[in-house]
Amino acid sequence: MQRRDFLIRSLALGCSAAASPMLTPVAFAEAPWEGRLVVIILRGAMDGLDAVRPYGDAEFAKLRGKLAGPNVGEADLQGFYALHPAMEPLRPLWNAGSLGFAHAVSTPYRDKRSHFDGQDLLEAGTVGLSGEGTRDGWLNRLLQAVPGVSGKTAFALERDQMLLLRGKAPVNTWTPESDLNISPQAQRLIELVHHDDPLFSGAVADAIGIADSLHLIDNPMTALEAQQLVRERAKEVGGSKGHLLLASFAAARLREEARIAAFSLNGWDTHRRQEKAINGALGRLSEVVSTLHQELGPEVWGKTTVLAMTEFGRTARINGTEGTDHGTGSAMVMAGGALRGGQVWSDWPGLAEADLYAGRDLMPTRDVRAHAAWALRGMFGIEQAVLERDVFPGLDMGDDPRLIL
Amino acid sequence: MFDPVLAEIRFGTGLSPSQKGPADTGEMLDRLTGPDRAADRWPLPKFEADAVPLLREYYQMRRVTKKGGNSPEVEAANKAYKGLKRQVREAGARQIAMQVLRGALTDDGLRERLTWFWNDHFTVVGRGLTVRSYITGFAEEAIRPHLTGRFADMLWAAASHPLMLQYLDQHRSIGPNSNVAKKSGKPYGINENLAREMLELHTLGVNGTYSQADVTALARLLTGMTVVELRFKVDPKYAEPGIQTILGQAYGGPPKDREADLRVFIEDLASHPQTLRHIAWKLAVHFVSDTPDPGLVEHISAALIGSGGELLEGYRAMLNHPAAWAAELGNVKPPFDFVVSATRALDVHPAMLERMNAKSLDTIFYAPLRLMGQGWMTPLGPDGWPEADSRWVTPQGLAGRIQWAMTAPQALTTRLPDPRNLVETALGAQAPQSLRFAASAAETDWEGVGIILSSPAFQRR
């Protein structure tokens, strides 16, 4: 049998057949511009105060105890913030101006601190959870706002539809690990029996179209051969390197026609023993950024912006289990050669009791959507009125933070 | 109204060539309230009764082996540890075989469906080999025995199960003014995770009228609920003293009465009208339609509220409402339900699954389910699996279903059914003409079987 597998053979993947629980869908869309945008949803609420530690705030060490980390030393960023050790491998990008952070930011979501509602609002890009715009994602509405995005050119990869990319604009879906082995006659019959069910016929046409364009369709002669193909693929995928597969796959698509990639990284809900848990999550995020940097190559990386956003932050104080509970303000991680990086954008609210949101959380001083909107403006030249009305309904973008070179 | 094919497809685990479905709603409910024959025939280990003694031994051996060295004691422990680890791993792998067999060969499919429904409502995800390997123990102990009882009893059983307490970090939540915190002088504190999900997911729903203050007060009331040596315990030493106001009512007091106080609270919360409306809506969405008939939801809700949360009355109301029997197939089966109903349609021989080794179980079930978007018993969060059909029918998920339908039946049967027969036994008179044609036009039997099982007519219920 012949494997015309374009996928990431070079990656040294673990042999475990178990897909990593950290591996979630990638979605791509092509668009009529040169800039590349990668949006990563950090699911579970990243503790911004731990990722980018405001050691210059006198209250920080008191609130955080052991989580405040050792003496700042080399971890310093700009003399007020320190980089979490797990992101230290990204230091060269910081020095090169290709890594930056927005701190004390959040969506407009407040008070109930539900992951699910918080993520829905982050992906919908709206002010509230009901009403206009809440059924589709802001990245899809961005695509709706520009000409030249067609079903033929748009490309998407995901296992589970991300709200972020749901909507009227065509976005194809797939994951790096998928496969489709059918004979030409079986394909025709499958199309026939799916024909009268609109939900299924669209999905099956996309499945066959995508698998075909990726040269994934093999024609097994026997059922045993078909099973063998399934087993081979399972071995290629998974293990603890799932996030690298996502990044690598994203880079491969962005080097070609795709202009937008979106996927999720999980594992941020650090209710207990945060020191260990966030180390893993930030380490994976760093590896994803490094992989994108390396595999996009200097030219494409120079046109790329990565935005890693989370649904809300975590409590300023440590809880009773060496972790933190759901909070409000957090940080956004930004990277890419197109970024005017090497800085932390923040209107720092302070961490004294009276400065905290509801006496417990980092006070958000800026809407994270404003930073995302300014990035879209800088990257793609989208009009401010379109951003404030269509992409992020109800947003006041405020002053230009000049994120993009 | 009642239709014997819909009863199996929509409310059961699919049509079977060998199992006779119920004749009316009365028989459906009689079977549901009768003896649990599927669980007797295909037992799964209970967590507290079966897994805990074994796991204690396992952890004990691990403690010894971690000391290192090569004394006879450590060598013996090493050997025992390896043996136990194999035992735990195999038990973990076998879980899915038992679950599939129950669904594939039962004559009481509603019981399996309700078990899966409530197991998802009270999602627990196992972390680590040991807990993952006995995760079905949660449903065996906390869900299945309470399927037709009072919601309050199921809520208590689920919320106080050690697997739930561990999953939502409750076992580490300690009252800052509790005896333990005061004596140790360490900055112990509460963890809100269980309190929040209990209100948002298990009872009132996210649209319920509760606030952050209610979550915090409930988290304080829940302190004391903990896990000791893998077993549930209310330990007053960890309980935050004092009265907590939750949803406008006062609960709690001195730590010594904490278990009784918690039971009073759970009774109130479980019979709260917002709770019962929320679960009525969830039942209608899960069993009937993503956008259920409001009259159906109201009917179930009224029965639940009128009976003080008797779940059986909720099911009876659902099955007696005409909207539940709409002829058109609606909801798309989630991947696990799809795989079970396909196995049922193939009339698999039990020995085929009972004897399947861990590697084959991974190839046939665990790995394909992940590709279809439903890694077994591992939803991303405590809100469980999505209900929306569009979340399952993606190019990616559908490719996974087609791949599975083409390859797995060969491994599950000694001889594949003739596709022209399968189309009748799996779909009954409802089989669309195009599918009958495709079943006869496929070039091979395995492709014919694959086309039938991955067709929209078989995916919907």
Which pLDDT value is given to residue A22?
A: 40
Token readout for A230 is 């399934």
Give the pLDDT band (50/70/90) at residue A25. low
Give the pLDDT band (50/70/90) at residue A31. low
Query: φ and ψ at A129, to 5 degrees?
Result: -90, -10
On whether any CB of chain A is under 8 Å from the CB of B225, the answer is: no
Mean pLDDT: which of A7-16, A227-236, A326-335 is highest? Answer: A326-335
Nearest to A270 by CA among A106, A105, A49, A25: A49
- Provide the CB-side half-sphere exposure for A300 (13 A, CA): 21
Give the pLDDT band (50/70/90) at residue A156. low
Which pLDDT value is given to residue A222?
A: 84
B197 → chain A, closest CA residue: A114
Cα(B360)–Cα(B93) distance, integer angstroms: 10
CA angle at residue A266 from A214 to A325, to 5 degrees?
A: 165
CA distances from A16 to A12, A118, A177, A240, B198 (A): 12, 33, 14, 9, 35
Mean pLDDT of A264-291: 94
Report, in this order, helix, strand and coil percent for chain B, each rounded to 5: 65, 5, 30
Q: Which of residues 379-408 of B touch A (CB under 8 A)?
A: 380-381, 383, 386, 389-391, 393-400, 402-403, 406-407
Mean pLDDT of A344-368: 97
Which pLDDT value is given to residue A216?
A: 74
What's the pTM value of the predicted model, to 2 decimals? Answer: 0.78
pLDDT tens per residue, range B350-399: 999 999 999 899 889 998 898 898 989 988 778 899 999 988 998 889 99
CA distances from B276 to A240, A252, B313, B348 (A): 42, 50, 12, 38
The minimal CB distance from A161 to the residues B169, B188, B391 is found for B391
Nearest to B14 by CA among B120, B106, B125: B106
Whole-number average pLDDT of chain B: 94
Which pLDDT value is given to residue A207?
A: 87
Mean pLDDT of A366-377: 97
Sheet holding A81-83, edge to edge: A52-53, A81-83, A76-77
The answer to whether the beta carbons of residues B411 and B364 sit under 8 Å apart is: yes
The minimal CB distance from A321 to the residues B172, B437, B455 is found for B172
With H, G, I as helix, E, B as strand and everything else as coil, classify residue B196: helix
Nearest to B168 by CA among B186, B133, B139, B193: B193
Q: Name residues whose C-beta falls within 8 Å of residue A289's C-beta, 6 or more positions apart in sequence.
A: A90, A93, A99, A247, A306, A333, A335
Residue A307, Cα to own-chain centre: how many angstroms? Answer: 7
Residues of A in contact with B215 (CB under 8 A): 113
Residues of B in contact with A358 (CB under 8 A): 212
Cβ separation A223–B410 shorter than 8 A:
yes
pLDDT higher than 70, residue A119: yes
Which pLDDT value is given to residue B317?
A: 98
Size of interface A-B (CB pairs under 8 A): 190
pLDDT higher than 80, residue A6: no
Between A212 and B422, where is the model more confident?
A: B422
Give the pLDDT band (50/70/90) at residue A237. low
Which pLDDT value is given to residue A149?
A: 73
pLDDT tens per residue, range B391-432: 899 888 999 999 999 999 999 999 999 999 999 999 988 899
Which ipTM value was assigned to this complex? 0.92
Between A13 and B288, where is the model more confident?
A: B288
Beta bridge partners of A262: A27, A39
Residues of B in contact with A43 (CB under 8 A): 380
Look up residue A264 and give its amino acid.
S
Residue keyed to tokens 């694959």: B450
CA distances from B310 to B272, B307, B407 (A): 13, 5, 43
Which residue of A16, A140, A189 to mutate against B (max B Cβ within 10 Å)?
A189
pLDDT tens per residue, range B2-58: 999 999 999 999 999 999 999 999 999 999 999 999 999 999 999 988 899 888 888
Residues of A in contact with B200 (CB under 8 A): 112, 114
Which pLDDT value is given to residue A128?
A: 86
Residues of A in contact with B375 (CB under 8 A): 19, 21
pLDDT higher than 80, residue A261: yes
Mean pLDDT of A258-286: 92
pLDDT higher than 60, residue A186: yes
Token readout for A51 is 């990722």
Mean pLDDT of B214-228: 96
pLDDT higher than 90, residue B107: yes
The minimal CB distance from B442 to the residues A113, A189, A226 is found for A189
User: Residue-wise over A65-101: b if at least 16 C-beta within 10 A, else e?
Assistant: eebbbeebeebebeebbbbbebbeebeebbeeebbbb
Residue B210, Cα to own-chain centre: how many angstroms? Answer: 26
The minimal CB distance from B441 to the residues A161, A189, A318 is found for A189
With H, G, I as helix, E, B as strand and everything else as coil, classify residue B204: coil
Q: Which of residues 344-373 of B touch A (CB under 8 A)?
A: 362-363, 366-368, 370-371, 373
Query: φ and ψ at A378, to 5 degrees?
Result: -70, -35
Give the pLDDT band (50/70/90) at residue A219. confident
Mean pLDDT of B230-258: 96
CB atoms within 10 A of CB B83: 12
Q: Which of A49-58, A128-137, B358-367 is the least confident region?
A: A128-137
The alpha-carbon gap from B395 to the nearest alpha carbon of chain A, in Å, equals 4
Residue keyed to tokens 């469906």: B113
Residues of B in contact with A177 (CB under 8 A): 371
Q: Which of residues 11-70 of B touch A (CB under 8 A)?
A: none
**Percent residues over pLDDT 90 in chain B:** 81
Which residue of B378, B407, B412, B413 to mutate against A (max A Cβ within 10 Å)?
B407
Residues of B in contact with A178 (CB under 8 A): 371, 396, 399-400
Q: Which of A50-59, A233-242, B290-299 is the least confident region?
A: A233-242
Whole-number average pLDDT of chain A: 85
